Structure 1
Amino acid sequence: MLSTADIARTGEGDIAGALSRVTGLSVVGNGFVYVRGLGDRYSLALLNGSQLPSPEPLRRSIPLDIFPTSVLASALVQKSYSVNYPGEFGGGVINLTTRAVPDKPFLSINVSGSGDTETTGLLGYTYYGSPTDWTGFDNGTRSTPAPLAAALSSGNLIVEGQNFTRRQIQDINASLVNARTTVVQRNGDIPANFAIDVNGGFARDIGDVRIGIIAAAGLSNTWRTRDATQQFSGGFVNGELTPTVDFRAVLTDNRIVANGLLGVGAEFGENRIRWTNLYIRDTIKQTRLARGTDAEGFDGTTPIIDQNTRWFERQLIDTQLVSEFKFDDFGLDFRGSYANSQRESPYERTFRYLFDSNVGDFVNNLGQAGSARVSFSDLNENAYSAGVDLSYKLPTATPITLTAGYAFNDNRRNSVRRDFRFLSADGALPSTVAQERPDYLLSDYNIYTYNILLQETSGQSGAAAYDAGLRVHAGYGQIVASVLPGVSVNIGVRYENGRQFVTPLELSGRPSTSVAQTTIKKEYWLPAGTVTWNLAEDMQFRVNASKTLARPQFRELAFQVYQDPEGDRLFFGNPFLVDTELKNVEARYEWYFGRDQRLTLGGFFKRIDNPIETFAFRSTGQLQTSFANAPSADLYGGEVEVQKYVPLDNIFSGDFFASRRLLLNANYTYTKSKLRVSEGDRITFADGTQFDARDFFRDGAPLTGQSDHLVNFQIGLDNKERVSQQTILVNYASKRVTNRGPAGTPQQPDIVEEPGVRLDFVAREEADFLGKVVEIKFEVRNILGTRFQEFQTAGDRRIDINTYDLGTSFSLGAGVRF
């Protein structure tokens, strides 16, 4: 378990960063936690014991980097399954617990500023958007204009013809916000980052009941520029892998995260009631400018400029009520929650200009030489959950506790994406018009003068909309008993009845007849057993065996295109995916040889049937990603962790060392996975076509997302009397596959990511200022300047799919507590 003190030592502002220091855990992308190399779909995140819907459309799991550490009291990581947890437990569970009744009234204010050597004060690209973008909230500029909104609600494809006249299409086109969402601007001095959070609480005794209120609010505004090499290969030429698309892309992200928490708690005796309300809004404003060549869609020598402006809003609102009651030998717990998550992405704009040697300039005639597109997408999900747990301690000489429980979860999602392209109805535009910048090119004058039309392309690569749902009824029974002196067992079984569906929709709202629907109705009996042998008061050995599952995520099933702002890549789902089933065995030795000091050793094995794997493929000059079930896989490995404190007053003399101790913490996880693919194994592609599984998956290849080696090391000084900590942190993750290589003859190599070594330094120090205790925090991250690298290799040839410098970041913050 990570306590408040453990989280503070890492210096991380969000819980995802703090968890990356835990044995066997790694964090990928925007805060998705991988346990023992398994992808985020195999990790279960709970808030106060209840599941949360994700505001991230590609995943059902929630990105943990949107949880600031200031609102959390602890984070429990459990890698061994027990039946009181949901059955979707592939690698482990992360249970985040919010602060409840405070011990005493408090108010703290924390501010910080930061920057990095690749972004701050340097060149980047931005666009105007709206004047309130810096808050993460649009002022209405990006709201759907009335003519377009009316056309969208008609249920008809927006094209010139039977349902819409040319004049109506032009009016819709002219109603779109133009310059504010299209004009890319050079910014030679990208601002520094800032963050502020305020949290406080108080408690009061009313008779025998202690009532507490805690509240927190925060806002962060960060910038990141990535100067990336983005290539992909069309296959082997004369035995060598050669890039057919080769771009240098500069992306600038402005990310704004606002969060708020309000909790009310009551304690009386051993009984507790907690009502927690959480709000998180995470917005990314992204500008991309790229130049390169494309041999897939063009001749491979003509210079091309691509421009993208995007706005991604993610929002989560959650309210939950949790109660814990004790009645002598009985325990009764209730929990219920409602959550809503949303994602909106209006005005995803794309422009492509090609160099015309005849005019000596880049042109876009909205046809063969250049293109312009815009997309609007909206996702909404509601999640309801409830549960009850009843425990009874038998009045026997040998301690025996019986526990039973029931849980219910119901998630419902609706997602819509409408895609459009602009085209000139009269053929190629005059060269003087085609040379114009994007907002002039799509000006009202040009729209009506040169008959520039808006043509809807929604559904060309799947469904424009879908409804999805997952309803699970579960019950479990569990026995915890001491069977021998020093030996206890925890044995139980969980029953889950789940129904999951994804229904593609026509524009009219009716179920689609051209895209496959998904319905997965399955029942599971999921047993789990743990035997714990207390070898001594400070030493134990534990063995666990269990069966668990992992259901496909909605976006993995939905045959709808999605743009990932982190990987700068298009995704779409596969409606033919099935559930993944896992059989797990684990053994673990733990020795607590002193306070906060430990040595742990562990080994684990998993047999995985139908694991869901990501694979890449080429389409219309772009690299895209989809999903398929591999036949099976095995995963095994081991881990070791040691934490030791060394008092320094026994080694060195002087006042400085009198109250200080040295912290040494190191953990290492070795994980090996192998896909099992045999002759005759088949997979089903998203369009229903079946292929030989060996065209996509290699026998013996590792699972996607799995690193063979994970290393975390901390060395630091700690003052035992006040806050004064200086810590060096080292993190290493070896290569991991992000996508199976594109199919072909022969199949291309897998796409891999190389996280490498990260070296950080964090210092925390207390100081008196105007009679108040102020905590100052200084951080230096990625001191070695490790790059982000995603690539393919074949022999001596390397294709950089997405590679860029991360730079070194510096942060200075201060907090005062009243």
Structure 2
Amino acid sequence: MTKSRLVPLLLLSTVMTPGIAQAQDSTTTPEAPAPEVLAAPAETAQDEPEGDAPDVSIPGGAIIVTGRRVVNVERSATEVLSVLSSEDIARTGEGDIAGALGHVTGLSVVGNGYVYVRGLGDRYSLALLNGSPLPSPEPLKRVVPLDLFPTSVVASSMVQKSYSVNFPGEFGGGVINLTTQAVPEESFLKIGGGIGWDGETTNKLSYSYYGSKTDWTGYDNGLRRVPHDMQALFDSNLALNPNSELADDIGSILFTPRNSVIQTIENTQPNFSADLSAGTSFDLGGATLGVIATAGYSNTTQTRQALRQSTQLLSGAYEDRDQDGTTVQSDNRVIVNGLLGLGLEWGENSIRWTNVYIHDTDKYAALASFKQPQQNANWDFMEQSTGWYERQLIDSQFTGEFKPTDDTTIDLRAGYANSKRLAPYEIVSRYIRRNTGDGGVGDLFTNALGSGTGSAPTSISFSRLNEDVWSAGADVSHRFSTNWSGTVGYAYQINSRESRQRQFLVIANGDSELIEALGTARLDVLLQTGQWYLDRTGLDYDLQLQDPTAPYANYRARLLNHAFYGKVDGTLADGLTLDAGVRWEWAKEQSLLVPVEGVAESGVTLKNEYFLPAATLTYEIDPEMQIRINGSKTIARPQFRELIFQNFFDPETNRTYQGNPQLIDSQLYNAEARWEWYFNRDEHVSLGGFYKHIKNPIESYLLYSNGYFTRYANAPSADLYGAEVELQKYFDLYNLGSFFETRRIAVNANYTYTKSQLNVTADDITNVNGFLSAATNYFVDGAPLTGQSKHIANLQFGLEDTDSLSQQTIMLNYASKRVTSRGVNGTIRQPDIFEHPGFTIDVIVRQGIMIGASELELKFEGRNLTGRAHKEYQSFEDGDVQFNTYALGRVFKASASIKF
């Protein structure tokens, strides 16, 4: 077999299967290509650049060792994938990995850092760190939001779009694998910092509240610690009696000027960040020990003035507004991150221990002003909210790669990860001005604490989530002949989650005039300690702290997964290679509502096993051109909270969620074909098509019953198909003069078309909480899947220097509208709620300057130069209802770093 035929096969041991990729001098040529060495085609080896391969660590795959002659990873892999190297990530200028992935073909970022691959996300997405699973800090999801990961801790990001059996079976649009920074070959120290300006926030008015003195660090100094009596109540797993002295004692200390009084900041500070990284290695005589550490801090503030409207449920008509107003909210987000890695290499063996810490805090304050015409068109409503959302991820992983013989490699990995989410003292209070015109209390904003028409209780919530993930795996790969290799592997994973969300309501009972008069006070004064005991002085005024969420406040969930797989790959004929295998997965998923004060235990257990096959054929038309065809079967499991038929109030979306214990797994049947042409060094064009049939997809729908509820059910089926095209091309400019001698124009463009639809007929039924109902009661035939844009396009072009750091890049991005939530299914089914990401232009300039032996890197970023707004709306015949629409500022950032 010629070297040109080995290209698709030999990457098996470095990217797609276990093995040790041994660093070697570029002048050394082995007599016969060893399985762990990336071999370039014989005809074009001299044209391939000499440089560093992106560091990639995946299940059933090796950590690619840098510092050797490499070929294009996407070209040589056995599957359809895209790899962002550290340089690719740096070129985008993004601060978190979710933003960087938004420039990859077929990927879009939905919500707060959730990356959708080919229109599939949420339960259909899979994110790994160094090949190991990650826990989510979000109560309603098992998938981790990727905006948690700063780009400074990520060495590469691989997106694999065609399934291979070395990955977990929960594979929808694709898998995203993040690889952390590797152990350095040379000692270094890098220090950096930056400052940013948001056109809608910086130096303008924003809202906040005092909080604690250490909030700027992202850590609370103990001010938000749960009071002793309340913690004892939580630990007892009992409901609070609103008529008890304990309720008064707890309520009297909850609301203070530090947590419930919104303050205005006239001139909001700029955004700023700082980071530090260092690494070194030690020669131990026959082995090399390396150490790398990074630390980062960022502080950003964003203020949004959102137009929020909703229509009346029964009529569902455009003109019948249920609510119409504006909400101004400010989020001060502080992220602290760190990484510590140790690596030991000897011969062709290596072990790595990687530890990642990420702490993400959002200090939230919002003030809403709105009308409720269906209530009373003359009244004005004002609602204030404060919150503190603290997310944390700790991940520790061990990876060992060993080569006992020339033809055998062993890959071992084990990991522990923990995620937490704390949200204490989430406070929401409503004031009403009835505009009576008499100059009295009716012309003032009053908080009647749920007493009287239109009034609402003041709520205060405490939530906590903790999830642990233990994982382990082993893979053995053996080359049986020159043309064929085989791999077997085992993976173990157990997720354990505990979640508590307790919402308390403050309600006033007694004389209505006294309640109205006292209700004009500021919230911390209205609910100060003495107010809770006024009824004991003889006044007809009684504050109650009610505990309505106690029966469904706590839940536990667990997912246990065992998997075995086997695969073979090799050459079927000249130029035709096959990678095929099957994965067996056994999983037991449990979601259990923890009983509170005699409430019956409820929960559900799903236990299933699957055989999941996958195969990829690659035909090499010539050394620069190839065609791939892939087919596979994968699954998607319900998320923990979706399986519990109890209310869960999410203050971030202001909605109540109810699970469905009758949900079952979704099964996906995937097919893909792709043509690729690598016509020059680092240059290629590709065209592909894909199709997915989803059996029993899990979809959400909205219901109204004394409030909005989001529920879940299995739709009968769905289809998703599309096409994507990608081009990467460079244009040398050496003929334009000495200044351009080492410069070139870089162009990277991609476009993805995706079409999805639910398939629902009049004869289809679905199981909703034990009741069989017509699927048409919940789903609309032909409706697109949630979060899927039909058109996604990215264009990067700019000038770069091939000899030194000098890049000037313009990035254009477009995404068409996508469904964010189903319309309410009331008397009349309302239209779906759409988001329109639209068109953006970003400019990134990076320039390196040598100062002695050190390099200073200067970077300038201009984001959202088109001034695109965030638009979330419902379309009616008479016009659009703006569900959540606000301006997004143009953002400018300057940063500098120096490397010693």
Matches within 5 A, 1:65-144: 65-144=147-226
1:441 alignment partner in structure 2: 526
Contact in 2 for aligned 1:463/1:559 (Cα 8 Å): no
CA deviations over 1:483-523 (Å, ceiling 9, x no partner): 11111101110000000011111225x7x527x52211111
The alpha-carbon deviation at position 399 of structure 1 amounts to: 1.2
Matches within 5 A, 1:68-467: 68-161=150-243, 165=244, 167-235=245-313, 237=315, 240=318, 242-295=320-373, 298-327=375-404, 328-356=406-434, 357=436, 358-359=440-441, 360-366=443-449, 367-368=451-452, 369-394=455-480, 396=481, 398-428=482-512, 429-450=514-535, 452-459=542-549, 463-467=552-556
Question: Of the candidates 834, 840, 849, which is equivalent to residue 758 of structure 1?
Answer: 840
The alpha-carbon deviation at position 689 of structure 1 amounts to: 5.0
The alpha-carbon deviation at position 116 of structure 1 amounts to: 0.9
Question: Of the candidates 883, 893, 897, which is equivalent to residue 801 of structure 1?
Answer: 883
- Kindly indicate whether residue 668 of structure 2 is the aligned counterpart of residue 585 of structure 1: no
**Relative to 1, partners in 2 of residues 1:348 and 1:688: Cα closer, same or farther, differing over 3 Å?**
farther
1:546 alignment partner in structure 2: 632
The alpha-carbon deviation at position 101 of structure 1 amounts to: 1.9
Q: Give the whole-Å Cα distance in 2 for the aligned partners of 1:673 and 1:143.
A: 47
1:55 alignment partner in structure 2: 137
Contact in 2 for aligned 1:245/1:300 (Cα 8 Å): no
- Kindly indicate whether residue 99 of structure 2 is the aligned counterpart of residue 17 of structure 1: yes
Q: Give the whole-Å Cα distance in 1 for the aligned partners of 2:133 and 2:232.
A: 37
Matches within 5 A, 1:16-55: 16-55=98-137
- Kindly indicate whether residue 558 of structure 2 is the aligned counterpart of residue 469 of structure 1: yes
Q: Give the whole-Å Cα distance in 1 for the aligned partners of 2:397 and 2:615.
A: 30
2:30 alignment partner in structure 1: none
Secondary structure of 1:517's aligned partner: strand
The alpha-carbon deviation at position 556 of structure 1 amounts to: 2.7
CA deviations over 1:556-583 (Å, ceiling 9, x no partner): 3344555657655554433332211100
**Relative to 1, partners in 2 of residues 1:188 and 1:406: Cα closer, same or farther, differing over 3 Å?**
same
Secondary structure of 1:784's aligned partner: coil
Q: Give the whole-Å Cα distance in 1 for the aligned partners of 2:112 and 2:316.
A: 39
The alpha-carbon deviation at position 216 of structure 1 amounts to: 0.6
**Relative to 1, partners in 2 of residues 1:727 and 1:74: Cα closer, same or farther, differing over 3 Å?**
same
CA deviations over 1:244-298 (Å, ceiling 9, x no partner): 11121001001111111100011122222110011111111110100112256x3
Secondary structure of 1:732's aligned partner: strand
Contact in 2 for aligned 1:304/1:353 (Cα 8 Å): yes
**Relative to 1, partners in 2 of residues 1:681 and 1:53: Cα closer, same or farther, differing over 3 Å?**
same
Q: Give the whole-Å Cα distance in 1 for the aligned partners of 2:721 and 2:253.
A: 58
The alpha-carbon deviation at position 550 of structure 1 amounts to: 0.8
The alpha-carbon deviation at position 237 of structure 1 amounts to: 4.1
CA deviations over 1:409-453 (Å, ceiling 9, x no partner): 000101111111112243433433110010000011212125543
The worse-fitting range, judged by mean Cα deviation, of 135-144 and 349-358 is: 349-358
1:518 alignment partner in structure 2: 604
The alpha-carbon deviation at position 147 of structure 1 amounts to: 1.9
The alpha-carbon deviation at position 78 of structure 1 amounts to: 0.5
**Relative to 1, partners in 2 of residues 1:706 and 1:806: Cα closer, same or farther, differing over 3 Å?**
same
Contact in 2 for aligned 1:673/1:702 (Cα 8 Å): yes
Contact in 1 for aligned 2:199/2:889 (Cα 8 Å): yes
Number of aligned positions between the proteins: 803
1:493 alignment partner in structure 2: 582
Secondary structure of 2:216's aligned partner: helix
Question: Of the candidates 757, 761, 769, which is equivalent to residue 678 of structure 1?
Answer: 761
**Relative to 1, partners in 2 of residues 1:730 and 1:566: Cα closer, same or farther, differing over 3 Å?**
farther
2:776 alignment partner in structure 1: 694
Q: Give the whole-Å Cα distance in 2 for the aligned partners of 1:561 and 1:440.
A: 32
TM-score by length of 2: 0.87
What fraction of aligned residue pairs are identical, expressed as a percent? 48
The alpha-carbon deviation at position 308 of structure 1 amounts to: 0.6
Q: Look up the equivalent residue of 1:456 and give its one-letter code.
A: Q
Contact in 2 for aligned 1:242/1:799 (Cα 8 Å): no
Q: Give the whole-Å Cα distance in 2 for the aligned partners of 1:267 and 1:454.
A: 65
- Kindly indicate whether residue 822 of structure 2 is the aligned counterpart of residue 740 of structure 1: yes
Secondary structure of 1:656's aligned partner: helix
- Kindly indicate whether residue 649 of structure 2 is the aligned counterpart of residue 649 of structure 1: no
The alpha-carbon deviation at position 56 of structure 1 amounts to: 2.1
Secondary structure of 2:379's aligned partner: coil
Secondary structure of 2:229's aligned partner: helix
The alpha-carbon deviation at position 110 of structure 1 amounts to: 1.4
Secondary structure of 1:544's aligned partner: strand
Question: Of the candidates 631, 638, 656, which is equivalent to residue 723 of structure 2?
Answer: 638
Q: Which stretches in structure 2 are left out of the alignment for 5+ residues?
A: 1-82, 536-540
The alpha-carbon deviation at position 767 of structure 1 amounts to: 2.0
Q: Give the whole-Å Cα distance in 1 for the aligned partners of 2:316 and 2:881.
A: 16
**Relative to 1, partners in 2 of residues 1:620 and 1:299: Cα closer, same or farther, differing over 3 Å?**
farther
Secondary structure of 1:244's aligned partner: strand
Q: Look up the equivalent residue of 1:404 and give its one-letter code.
A: V
CA deviations over 1:789-810 (Å, ceiling 9, x no partner): 1110111321111110111100
Q: Give the whole-Å Cα distance in 2 for the aligned partners of 1:320 and 1:639.
A: 35
The alpha-carbon deviation at position 665 of structure 1 amounts to: 1.0
Q: Look up the equivalent residue of 1:322 and give its one-letter code.
A: T
2:895 alignment partner in structure 1: 813
- Kindly indicate whether residue 753 of structure 2 is the aligned counterpart of residue 666 of structure 1: no
Q: Look up the equivalent residue of 2:365 and give its one-letter code.
A: T
Q: Look up the equivalent residue of 1:673 and give its one-letter code.
A: S
Q: Give the whole-Å Cα distance in 1 for the aligned partners of 2:773 and 2:379.
A: 36
Secondary structure of 1:175's aligned partner: coil
Secondary structure of 1:150's aligned partner: helix
Q: Give the whole-Å Cα distance in 1 for the aligned partners of 2:138 and 2:316.
A: 42
Q: Look up the equivalent residue of 1:148 and give its one-letter code.
A: M
TM-score by length of 1: 0.95
CA deviations over 1:142-189 (Å, ceiling 9, x no partner): 11111222233333211235xxx3x32211111325221100111111
Secondary structure of 1:168's aligned partner: helix
**Relative to 1, partners in 2 of residues 1:210 and 1:241: Cα closer, same or farther, differing over 3 Å?**
farther
Q: Give the whole-Å Cα distance in 1 for the aligned partners of 2:338 and 2:705.
A: 42
The alpha-carbon deviation at position 197 of structure 1 amounts to: 1.0
**Relative to 1, partners in 2 of residues 1:185 and 1:30: Cα closer, same or farther, differing over 3 Å?**
same
2:35 alignment partner in structure 1: none
Q: Give the whole-Å Cα distance in 1 for the aligned partners of 2:338 and 2:756.
A: 40
The alpha-carbon deviation at position 192 of structure 1 amounts to: 0.9
The alpha-carbon deviation at position 70 of structure 1 amounts to: 1.4
**Relative to 1, partners in 2 of residues 1:250 and 1:288: Cα closer, same or farther, differing over 3 Å?**
same
The alpha-carbon deviation at position 684 of structure 1 amounts to: 4.0
Q: Give the whole-Å Cα distance in 2 for the aligned partners of 1:746 and 1:658.
A: 67
Contact in 2 for aligned 1:315/1:343 (Cα 8 Å): yes
The alpha-carbon deviation at position 626 of structure 1 amounts to: 3.2
